[in-house]
A and B are shown apart, each in its own frame.
Chain A
Amino acid sequence: MIFNATLFASALLVATPLILAAGGGAISHQAGVFNFTLDGLMLWGAFFAIYFAKVGGSWGVGLVGAAAMTIVASLAFGFVVIRLKANPIVAALGLNLVAAGVTSLLLRTRLSSGGGAVSAARLPDATPRFLARLPVVGHVLAGQSILVYLAIVSGPCIYFFLTRSAVGLRLRAAGDAPESAAIAGISVARMRYLALALTGLLCGLAGAQLSMGIAQFTENITAGRGITAFAAVIFGRNLPYPVFATAAFFGFSIALTDRLQGLGLPGELVVLIPYFLTVVALAVSSRRTMAAYRQALA
């Protein structure tokens, strides 16, 4: 029996960082900043979650610390791209490199672990008992952390933010038509910094889920999840619900592969499906996406 509650439970778990990070990426793209930093930011967040959890003694401190540090990193990226007018692609490559290097260095020196892994607090179960008692749904939700619930509501929240809040509308204007936004009195730069701060927040939390979810940080803990999240953003054409659904779907298929190991569908190859799908999506719909990217890269 493959499609049981356990599968959906692990699908939720795997999808959470993807959904959060992809949501952050979508916000960034909506504001007109091409953002390939998702993987680096997730790694950054994953490390600092464990670090602050260890130093601060609780998972709460870990979460706050991860969020704060990742927001800072994302804003630094914003500074280089917005103020210094750097090429966003190359700057992202730079950030990802720096993130990998710094976390690796700090792992050895500050958390003094030769083996490359460190344990600290884990994210506690955030499911209230009445939910956990429900027949099928209960099994799926039992043991899930607060970040999982955050990921579930992130879809509607981001949608609401971008379509119904004044700030969200201005952010979209800054990304869709910066000159028009400027003429309407909107500070395009400020909107972009805000967007990147949100990206940092979401990616930091995504990373926290990765590391504190298993109470461990290892060097390659993201294992390319950031790229998968980025793929979800592209495939979902930067729109909140499509990106949300795509990220969830990618998470689900990754969880599925563990189940299908026995049936000869190799997990290492299934994780590549998102990338393939993204290429196909681009090939099919690129007229509009290209225009969007030219805008996003401007």
Chain B
Amino acid sequence: MMSWVAAGTSPTPVLELRGITKTFGSMVANDDVSLRINRGELHAVVGENGAGKSTLMKIVAGVIGADAGQILVDGQVTDIGSPHDAARAGIGMVHQHFSLVPSLSVAENIFLGALPTRVGVVRRKRMLRDAAEMADTYGLEIPTSGRLGDYGVGVQQRVEILKALLSGSKVLILDEPTAVLTPQESDHLFDALRALRASGHTVILITHKLREVFAAATRVTVMRDGRAFEASEVSAASESQLIRLMVGREVKLGRPHVPPAKDGATVLRIEHLECRNNRKLTALHDISLAVRSGEIVGIAGVEGNGQEELCEAIAGLRAVENGKLSVLDRDVTDEQSATKRRACGVTYIPADRMLRGVAPRASIRDNLIMGKHREPPIAQRGRLQPAAIAAMGDAITKRFNVSKGALGRPIDSLSGGNIQKIVTGRELAARSPVLVASNPTRGVDIGAAEMIHNALREARAAGVAVLLVSSELDEVKSLSDRIFVMSKGELHGPWPPGVSDEQLGLAMTGGAEPVLAPVVGVPQAGRS
């Protein structure tokens, strides 16, 4: 391993990871990750969803254990087997999904792990006083009364931070902290982080928002597919480079692009669509888009910019606040349910396949017929036709090369790639006029991904209007006839498939000026 400590110029990092590996079943979440965090810095760890950042940080915080590798705190190898161990080592994590108790008060939540008591009775006044003191010290405003659950995410997050500080953390890990904050709250948060650094704390920030990286971080590490790329000084990196590292793929799946066979009619029309996300914040701003029969429209972009919400809105799984959706010139905006949208001709390959796309414990057969279970040939007058189901199963498993075996097995006995192939095959078999595919090859091996891509191309050739949403740039470029970029809920584009990555990367960052920067990863001796 390349040593950073050249001629004793760099002090011991406050936290160092060596060769951290973690596997969940067949999925490698962290692949031999090595990282150095220096004292007093704000170190950003960036990557798209599923890159392994959260897993890595959970290992550091003792929430889960690594399969291999070492963690060094202040140069000493430390065994972190539980959050308690992590706390003792001075590491505290502020989780993305808060680990708070809504029915308890603010102070009770902060001190939950260490309630001050006298004869078993909690010393309320003392607790409140200590909490207020801490809040003052770090500039984190918190209310003094009421249930925590009554307050918004801003308060909850500050409580989480105070919790971590209370247990004596020198290193604070924040996992996507601004995902739930308004811009003003985010500013407050970064002010607080700056104050923390000034008082000697080290902050690790997990994020996929590059704006934050450039606004607040001193060093940045990019993670992709479980691997980490060498950290670089933020001042020396450019946004487009980081994006390239985040979303690029090592192996190009591309084929030379074949233009659509015919100039088809517009099948899916989206006009001035507005939507909210789960936090009631606006996720889509005035989206307008048209997809024609026989074409693939690709939407690229880093995850979390509204793509998920767009797909759900089209598929009927999310309410439309404003705007209009039409399929085949028919206004379907008011048909706000999955049932109705399916009936209108929209099928959807969801990104979270295990939650929505399949019922994991149900049989492959049962998973296959979802959506088609009321119409011929799968059902005649309400009765399921085993022969037709078997035929469909055969056709799909053969076409997608899913290992042969009883269709009665539970579907979660298959690999992730095979499951996704079944989902894809199922939705394609519907031969609906509109197909929305969200990250169809995420977590899927290359061979399966290629098969799925071919299937999408075939659908296109058959006249289906395909809307492909993906954070894999190569995927979008090799499949799409027109490319858009989604950034902060707004659509940019379209571009032809030959567009350069830099152009797209530019759009993804909302138009910041790209800086031609030195190659990422060159160690800068003498800096810390």
Contact = CB atoms under 8 A, between A and B. Distances in A.
A181 B101 contact: yes
Contacts of B28: none
Contact of A169 (B84, B100, B104): B104
B122 A180 contact: no
Interface stretch (B33-41, B109-117, B428-436): B109-117
A56 to B, nearest CB: 32
A187 to B, nearest CB: 12
B157 to A, nearest CB: 14
Given A164-B124, A173-B112, A185 B102 contact: no
B382 to A, nearest CB: 32
Contact of B99 (A164, A169, A180): A180
A179 B99 contact: yes
A179 B99 CA distance: 7
Contacts of B103: 172, 176
B108 interface: yes
A37 to B, nearest CB: 24
B514 interface: no
B117 A166 contact: yes
Contacts of B113: 184-186
A183 interface: yes
Given A164-B122, A183-B83, A185-B84, A169 B102 contact: no
B258 interface: no
B7 interface: no
Given A169-B112, A169-B115, A180 B121 contact: no
Interface in A170-212: 170, 172-173, 176-177, 179-181, 183-186
B455 interface: no
A167 B120 contact: yes
Interface string B140-173: 0000000000000000000000000000000000
Given A176-B102, A177-B100, A166 B122 contact: yes
Nearest to A179: B99
Contacts of A186: 112-113
Interface string B226-241: 0000000000000000
How many interface residues does chain A have, given as a range?
Answer: 10 to 19
A247 B4 CA distance: 70
A164 B102 CA distance: 16
B121 A166 contact: yes
Interface in B87-103: 98-103
B120 A173 contact: no
A41 to B, nearest CB: 26
- Scoring A164, A167, A173, A177 by chain B CB atoms within 10 A of each residue's CB, the highest score goes to A177
B122 A165 contact: yes
Contacts of B122: 164-166, 169
A183 B63 contact: yes
Nearest to A168: B122
A261 B510 CA distance: 78
Contact of B120 (A165, A177, A183, A184): A165
A173 B121 CA distance: 16
Contacts of B124: 164
Contact of A177 (B99, B115, B117): B99
Contacts of A181: 101, 112
Nearest to B63: A183
Interface in A138-181: 164-167, 169-170, 172-173, 176-177, 179-181
B103 to A, nearest CB: 5
B117 A172 contact: no
Nearest to B82: A185
A166 B104 contact: no
Nearest to A183: B99
B117 A173 contact: no
Contacts of A179: 99
Contacts of B99: 177, 179-180, 183-184
A169 B121 CA distance: 10
Interface in B62-81: 63
A143 B475 CA distance: 83
Contacts of A184: 99, 112-113
Contacts of A170: 112, 115
Interface string A56-78: 00000000000000000000000
Contacts of A166: 115, 117, 120-122
Nearest to B97: A179
Contacts of B98: 180
A165 B121 contact: yes
Contacts of B102: 176-177
- Scoring A166, A170, A179, A180 by chain B CB atoms within 10 A of each residue's CB, the highest score goes to A166
Contacts of A169: 104, 108, 112, 115, 122
B101 A177 contact: yes
A164 B116 CA distance: 11
Contacts of B84: 185
A186 B120 CA distance: 15
Interface string A90-133: 00000000000000000000000000000000000000000000
A207 B365 CA distance: 53
A180 B115 contact: no
A184 B101 CA distance: 10
Contacts of A164: 121-122, 124
Contact of A173 (B63, B83, B101): B101
A169 B103 CA distance: 10
A265 to B, nearest CB: 39
A166 B220 CA distance: 42
A169 B105 CA distance: 10
Given A170-B112, A173-B112, 11 more contacts: A164-B121, A169-B104, A169-B122, A170-B115, A177-B99, A177-B101, A180-B112, A181-B112, A183-B63, A183-B99, A184-B112
26 contacts: A164-B122, A165-B120, A165-B122, A166-B121, A166-B122, A167-B120, A170-B112, A170-B115, A172-B101, A172-B103, A172-B104, A173-B101, A173-B112, A176-B103, A176-B104, A177-B99, A177-B100, A180-B99, A180-B101, A180-B112, A183-B63, A183-B83, A184-B112, A185-B83, A185-B113, A186-B113
Interface of B: 63, 83-84, 98-104, 108, 112-113, 115, 117, 120-122, 124
Interface of A: 164-167, 169-170, 172-173, 176-177, 179-181, 183-186
3 smallest A-B Cβ distances: which pairs? A180-B99, A184-B113, A184-B112
